[in-house]
């Protein structure tokens, strides 16, 4: 039986990279001695008051259809938060609530991008971008953020990739997997290109609250950019709420109004109890989020200093997020081979960073979403493993 063309468009590369992760997760669930460093899910529990808030809402009968764009109070809270961080005048009508950054990006892609359009995304990029951005028939044009340049954006490469068909540029700051936080100069150069070529910018800022060094700047805050920028974000990483699926878009009114019809047929609103818990997270749980950030920073330092004990294994110290990038090219051609050999020898699973784009071929991504003890042990095994390689 024939299926739709969409099936092709969403079957991206990189599936192989997840094989080791899936194997390791199964082994971990079965109680085997494995250490899973291949996933970006915070190990912290969601702060208890946020859970209490959801439970109270459920018990008080908040179990029916909820407002599709998001409850007024939640949209107001998100708008006020964004405005206070960026200085961009943001109102309820600019905010649309979705099921995580992923769903916000997916929806934005459907609203903005058509068959025949090209969308530039800077790689290494989050693995689901490929399918998400091509879902409506647009062509993804990956632009390298070269490893030699510390995985920072190369403005000339972006410029060279712009054609008459380019409709949008997607940026991720801070970046997954590299932890790079874009500087004001980098963002200003990207903004100038967007203005010159009349492009939309989609800015994924899901790691905004997990920054250790560098200042987070939203590209929407640069002159003349708010009217052409969609910012996507969520509570997944900031509040250890990946499973709640609470996220949003912030967009100019001209665009935000069009989310309505899409959301009506696609999602029909986030559950009310999740919206109530999200309001509480944003208004009263900033300290909990900051405390998690501090722990991530400590873990980052721990992993970097432990891995420095390995021979010929350069590590890129991340400015943000929850991953360390490790260059394994001295030993293997690609990250997948390294990950497989490492897992088979030690039970430590890491992710082939090549799954995030060509620039990261020969690198692996190590998540620091486990306790200090587990991370120390994982690093010990990695160092020992590398010591056995010639």
Residues near ligand PLP, by CB under 6 A? 40, 100-102, 126, 172, 176, 204, 206, 234, 236, 242, 247
Q: In a 3-state reduction of DSSP, which class is residue 100?
A: helix
Residue 87 vs residues 80, 91, 145: alpha-carbon distances, Å: 10, 12, 28
Q: Rounded to whole angstroms, how far apart are CA atoms 293 and 56?
A: 27
Q: What is the DSSP track for 140-193? A: EEEEE--GGGTT---HHHHHHH--TTEEEEEEESS-TTT-----HHHHHHHHHH
* 249 contacts 263 by C-beta, under 8 angstroms: no
Give the alpha-carbon dihedral of 374, 377, 381, 386, to 10 degrees.
100
What residue number has its CB nearest to ligand PLP? 100
With respect to ligand PLP, which residue has the nearer C-beta, 182 or 313? Answer: 182
- Least separation, in Å, of the C-beta of 12 and ligand PLP? 15
Secondary structure E strands in 285-377: 315-316, 323-327, 348-349, 351-352, 363-367
Min dist. Cβ of residue 345 to ligand PLP (A): 27
Nearer to ligand PLP, 96 or 126 (CB): 126
Judged by CB, which is closer to ligand PLP: 186, or 204? 204
Please report how close the Cβ of residue 58 comes to ligand PLP at its closest, in angstroms. 22
CA distance 233 to 2: 36
CB of 104 to ligand PLP, least distance (A): 8
Least distance in angstroms from the C-beta of 264 to ligand PLP: 21
Query: Between residues 101 and 285, which has the closer beta carbon with respect to ligand PLP?
Result: 101
Question: Which residue number, 154 or 204, has a Cβ lying nearer to ligand PLP?
Answer: 204
Least distance (Å) from ligand PLP to the CB of residue 250? 14
* Residue 249 or 326 having the CB closest to ligand PLP: 249
- How far is it, in rounded angstroms, from Cα 349 to Cα 322? 15
């Amino acid at each position: 039986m024939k299926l739709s063309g969409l099936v092709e468009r969403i079957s991206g590369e990189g599936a192989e990279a997840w094989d080791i992760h899936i194997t390791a997760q199964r082994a971990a669930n079965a109680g085997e001695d494995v250490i899973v460093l291949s996933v970006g899910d915070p190990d912290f529990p969601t702060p208890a008051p946020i859970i209490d808030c959801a439970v109270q809402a459920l018990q008080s009968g908040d179990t029916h259809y909820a407002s599709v764009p998001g409850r007024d109070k939640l949209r107001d809270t998100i708008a006020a938060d964004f405005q206070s961080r960026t200085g961009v005048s943001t109102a309820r009508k600019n905010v649309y609530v979705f099921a995580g950054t992923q769903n916000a990006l997916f929806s934005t892609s459907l609203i903005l991008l058509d068959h025949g359009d090209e969308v530039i995304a800077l790689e290494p990029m989050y693995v689901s971008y490929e399918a998400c951005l091509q879902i409506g028939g647009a062509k993804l044009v990956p632009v390298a953020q070269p490893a030699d340049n510390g995985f920072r954006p190369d403005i000339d490469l972006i410029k060279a990739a712009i054609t008459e068909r380019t409709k949008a540029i997607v940026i991720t700051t801070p970046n997954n997997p590299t932890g790079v936080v874009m500087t004001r100069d980098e963002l200003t150069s990207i903004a100038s290109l967007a203005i010159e070529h009349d492009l939309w910018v989609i800015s994924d800022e899901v790691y905004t609250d997990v920054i250790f060094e560098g200042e987070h700047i939203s590209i929407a805050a640069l002159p003349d950019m708010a009217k052409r920028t969609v910012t996507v974000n969520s509570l997944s990483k900031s509040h250890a709420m990946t499973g709640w699926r609470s996220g949003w878009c912030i967009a100019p009114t001209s665009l935000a109004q069009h989310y309505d019809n899409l959301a009506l047929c696609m999602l029909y609103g986030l559950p009310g109890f999740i919206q109530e818990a999200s309001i509480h997270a944003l208004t009263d749980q900033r300290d909990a989020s900051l405390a998690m950030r501090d722990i991530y920073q400590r873990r980052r330092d721990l992993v970097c200093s432990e891995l420095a004990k390995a021979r010929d294994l350069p590590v890129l110290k991340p400015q943000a997020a929850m991953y360390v990038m490790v260059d394994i090219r001295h030993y293997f051609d690609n990250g997948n081979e390294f990950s497989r050999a490492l897992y088979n020898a030690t039970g430590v699973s890491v992710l082939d960073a090549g799954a995030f784009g060509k620039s990261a071929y020969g690198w692996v991504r190590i998540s620091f979403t486990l306790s200090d003890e587990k991370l120390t042990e994982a690093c010990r095994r990695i160092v020992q493993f590398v010591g056995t390689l010639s």
